[in-house]
Every structure is written in C-alpha cells, then in structure tokens.
Chain A
Amino acid sequence: MSTFLQLFLRSIETGAVYALATLGIIVVFRTNLVINFAQGVMGMFGTYVITVLFVRRGLPIVAAIALGLVICVGIGFLVDFFIIRRTKKVDGSGKEIITLGLMMVFVGITPMLFGVDPLKLPKVIETGSFTLGGANLSYNSLLNIIIGLGLTTGLFLLLQKTKLGLAIRSTASNERTARLMGVPTKNITLFAWALAMVLGALAGSMIAPSTSVTVNVMDSVQVNAFIACVLGGFQTFYGPVIGAYIIAVLTNLFSYYISSVWGTQLLYLLIIVFLCIRPVGLIGKKTIKKV
C-alpha cells in the first residue's frame, strides 16, 4: 500500500508538470484555434532564462524564477504581437507550420544565447522530507504538487468567475462574435500566449531539477501534453488537465506494475483504443459538420 501511495504521490507531481504544459496548449488552442507545437520549446526557453538568471547572474532561486517568469510574459507578448497576430488569414495547417517555425527559432536561438553545455537548475526547497502513510515525500515535491493543483484551480476560477475569464471563454467559443460584442480579442490572444509561455516555463523549472537543462528538456512533456489534450478532449479547459493527471498516474503505475520497458507503449496503445471508442476524448462534444 505504501508503495502504491508513493507511486501515486510521485505521479501527482509529474501530473502537475504535464497539467501546466497541457493548459498552455489548450489556452492557446481555444483562443487562437492553433495547436501550438512550440509549447515545449517555449517552456524550454523559459527554463533556460530562469536557469541562466540563477547560475550566471547569481540571483536567489525564487527571485530567478520570478524574474524569469516576467521575462517570459514579455516573450509571449512578442510572439503574439510579431507573428501570431499576422496569421489571421492563414488557413489549414499553415498556422501549425508557423508554430513549427517558431519552434525552430527557439531551438536555434537557445545555444546562441546560452551556450551548448547542459545547465543545472536546483530544487526550490533543497532538502527535507516527511512521511505520509508510509510514503516518503520531499518538501519540494509537495511544493510542486501544490503549485500544480493550485494553479489549475486558480485558472479555472479565473475562467469561470472573472470578467477576463468570460472574455477568454467568449473568444474561445466564437472569436468574431466576441469581437462584435466588444471583447478585446487581440488582448485576449496576447494574454493567452504570455500565459502559455509562463506555464511552460513553470513546468520546465519543475521538471528540470530531476534532469539537466538542455534543448530537449521538455520533449517528452510536450508529447504527453498533446496526448492529454486528445484524451481529455479539446472542447473544454478542464478535460485536458484531467487527461494530464490520468496519463501521469497511469504511466508510473504501468511502468512499476507491468513493465518498465513496455509500460508507456502499452499505455499509449490503450489510449488509442480508448479514442477509437470515444473519438472526442473523455469530456468532449461531437461537433457536427454540415455538408
């Protein structure tokens, strides 16, 4: 039982990382109608900014993260202002290809700015742990779990209860009508890209201490986040987050109880089978296309 609890808690920590990255993808998708393939590398870039502020500028870790996130907001604004805003007339897969271009720019610019050597980002809370029902949990993991759950809950409250949330939801449901109703949709997309960048950077700096900061730090997170989006369904904001936590928990359970080699593949296969049965995800509505 304690092994299970240990696994479960660790999964919730990984789930927090996936959930933040997934939220970044879904917020951009709902407001811009584009799958942002650059979400992973945007998070990677943000993580690099934070790490460099900590390692080379010698800021305390919390200050480095805070300042890094502010810079991320700026980068998100720039991305939307200079590129995404001009893609209104691009149709079909063109927008997705733009995000691929964005991805390449970030991947290329990272070694130019920060060098090619992998960097090390420490945990926010370096030491200390406690026992919970036989399971061992470090304070840093607890912090990550709280950040994950807190941020997702906070964002849902923002979406459901505030005026900004209403504006985002109306933009998501119909951008044109929202604009006619006086919603400043341009500012909404600006906000969405900044939010995606911040969420990516947070996810990156949560996962970075367990590995090292390289260009590929977010690759697997990004793939899992995409799969979480289809598992949960693209139509809601909360579905993909649930999907992210499910994937995180099942990945750990499968690789522990079934096979550490084949667990992930089996899980992905099961997700495909599930999607064959429910093609719009866990919480999704079928959109009816007219002839």
Chain B
Amino acid sequence: MKKEQSIGMKIWTNHYFRFVLFGLMLSMLVPAVSGGILKTSFLGIVGGTIIFTIAALGLNILLGYSGLISLGTAGFMGLGAYISAYVTGDMGLPWEVGILAAVLIPTAIGILVGLASLRMSGLYLGIVTLCISEIFRKTFDELDVITGGFSGKSANYPTLLGMIDLNQKQTYILLVVVLVLVMMLTYNIVHGQMGRAMHVMRGSQVAAQAMGVNILKYRLIAFALSTGYASLAGALYVHFIKFVYPSTWTLMISLTILAIIVIGGLRSIYGTFLGALVVYAMPDLVLKRIPVLGDINGLPYVFSGVLIILIILFYPKGVVNVFSDLKRLFAKLTASKSSAAKDEVPNDVG
C-alpha cells in the first residue's frame, strides 16, 4: 500500500510519540492515586515494576539481541544502589552526581566482565556472572563503612538540581520519565547498525566475524549497556524505596529479571514491561485484593511460580504476542461470521 499517510497517522505511528504516550499513561496513576480512585500502594508496585523494567531492558539487549547470558544483574543493581546512596548520603553530593557515579562505575566493571566473556559462552558465562554478583553481595555484607552491613542503608527521595525536593509521587513521575528515555535509547540502539551487528553475533560468531563485525567491540558494548541499565535501575531503586539491604541482591532477583524478559518476550521493549508487570506486580495487584487468600504466607510466591511455569509451558513466545494473537483471533472470528460457513472456530491462543 503506497497510500500517502496523513500527518495524524504519521504522528500516531511514530515510535517516540508512542513511548511518550506510554509514559503519559503510566503517569495517570498519580492523579488516580491523589483522587482516591486507587490505593497509594499502587505507586510503589508500579514504580517497582518500572525499575525492574529498566534493568530487564538491559538484559534484553544482552540476551535477546547479543545472545549472551548474565546472572549477575542483581549484583550490579545492588552496586548502583549502594554507590548512589553513599555519594548522596555520606558524601553529601547532589543526586545527579550520585546517579552518574552509580552508572559509570558498574559500567566500567561490566566492560571488564565483557572482556572475560570473550573466552566463555552459554552457561559458563551465566555462572561466572553469578560468581561476580556473589562477590558484590558478600562485599555489601562486609564493607559496612560504606554499605551499612546487614542493617542496610537508607537514602532520600532525589533532590533535582540541588533545590527541588521530590516526594514519592514526583519520584514516581521521575521514574516514568527515565523509563521513557531508556525505552527510546533502547529502540534506537537495537534498530540501528549496532542492533543488526548484535543480531548477526547471536546467530553465529564466526559468520559475524566473516562479515566484518568486531566481536570484541559489540560484546563489550552489550555488557556495558546491560550493566549500565542494571545499575541505573539500582540507583533509582534506592531513591524510590529509600532503603537497601545486602540480602536483597541474590540470585533470585537476577533470575526474576531473566524471567521478565523471557515471559514478556525476547527482543520486545513493551514486552519487557508486560513481563515485569506479570512477574513482579501481578501477585501484589491480584492476590492482596482477595480478602482471605491475601493473608496466607507464601501464597504470592506460589502464585507467581505457577504463573511463570504455565506461561512458559503454554505461551513460550512471550505475553507481548497476546495482542497480535488476539487480533488474529478476532479477524478469524469476524471472517467466519461473515461467511457463516464454519461452525467451529479453532481457538488456539496457547
């Protein structure tokens, strides 16, 4: 179809516009909470989902595009959180400096990991990154001058430009803004030359090298991006939750982030958010509202565990495909209705 698009259509199909629209939709939560339509706890849940989405987007670049696995996301998130809390709290520097340090230092370490990854692949790489994450976690325990040890470390809501003190709702808006920016950045990266190079690299390293793709460069970039995103998420976490414990950053968090991208759909930006919503927010959003069940200890875990197993078993391509599948189903339904020939519509969403 070569039909000339109207200006309205052009804006509607523009990806940046859609990301901004998505951000606006998420920000609608603040008036909804202020107006008393939704409970305040929703802010915390969706804010947490946004933080996990940012970390998962980084892992999506690494695993989805470059085909490299990392089980060390939690360690880098924790590192970002502690650096930001230390720089803003103990050193008294502005929030912007804190977040910059919290992203740059872990990213530099991430590049080192990328160097090490050149000789490893698959599950060896996964467990070596787990090893790095454990080194961080043990250090969080022991280095109590900086991390506060087992008792944890607190931080405040961010102060923008040294004068604007944010409260929880405004911090939530800040999270949404960062998420939209990160989504745009990710979109540009994966749809540019870099994304194509990573695609080839995932398919076959030898073939990629034969085509002139510099494996070293793109592996390092992929690792730098994923650790940068993870530490950014960690730094946002500490200023949103206002507290950080060493025991948070275990293998479970890394696996949860891995689950987010696999369940949401590899190589999908919106899918990553959907995955975070399913894995992280669903137990809180659904279970806590049911009177008796919500009080049973451990039920949220069972709920998400069963949900994860069922989605992987019956919907392995990721929940992001649910929309296109529904559209196809709908088209099929209307088509069969108009022809009125078939009595049975195959309804294979699974």
By a beta-carbon cutoff of 8 Å, the part of chain A in contact with chain B is 35, 37, 83, 86-87, 89-94, 96-98, 100-112, 116, 219, 222-223, 226-227, 229-230, 234, 261-262, 264-265, 268-269, 271-272, 275-276, 279-281, 289, 291
Contacts and interface: CB of A to CB of B under 8 A. Distances in A.
A275 B124 contact: yes
A183 B139 CA distance: 48
Contact of A108 (B128, B299, B313): B299
B298 A112 contact: yes
A230 B128 contact: yes
Interface string B254-267: 01101100110010
Interface stretch (B92-100, B129-137, B218-226): B129-137
Given A98-B308, A269-B135, A93 B258 contact: yes
A275 B120 contact: yes
Query: 4 shortest A-B CB distances, which residue pairs?
Result: A108-B301, A104-B305, A101-B308, A108-B302
B304 interface: yes
Contacts of A103: 252, 255, 305
Contact of B312 (A90, A219, A223, A265): A90
Interface residues of B, number: 49
B69 interface: yes
B324 to A, nearest CB: 20
B258 A97 contact: yes
B296 interface: yes
B263 A97 contact: yes
Contact of B305 (A86, A94, A101, A271): A101
Contact of B135 (A37, A90, A265): A265
Contacts of A275: 116, 119-120, 124, 128
Interface SS of B by simple majority: helix
A271 B134 CA distance: 12
B69 A93 contact: yes
B315 to A, nearest CB: 10
B214 to A, nearest CB: 18
Contact of A223 (B134, B262, B305): B134
Contacts of A112: 296-299, 302
A109 B298 contact: yes
B10 interface: no
A112 B131 CA distance: 32
A52 to B, nearest CB: 15
B134 A268 contact: yes
9 contacts: A108-B301, A112-B296, A219-B250, A223-B130, A234-B123, A234-B124, A264-B138, A276-B116, A279-B119
Given A109-B302, A112-B296, A265-B139, A227 B308 contact: no
A100 B308 contact: yes
Interface in B248-290: 250-252, 255-256, 258-259, 262-263, 266
A241 B343 CA distance: 60
A279 B125 CA distance: 9
Contacts of B258: 93, 96-97, 100
B302 A90 contact: no
Contacts of B298: 107-112
A291 B263 contact: no
B135 A268 contact: yes
Contacts of A276: 116, 119-120
B236 to A, nearest CB: 24
Given A94-B262, A101-B308, A101-B309, A227 B127 contact: yes
B144 to A, nearest CB: 10
A279 B124 contact: yes
A114 to B, nearest CB: 10
A9 to B, nearest CB: 25
Contacts of B303: 108
Interface in B33-90: 63, 69
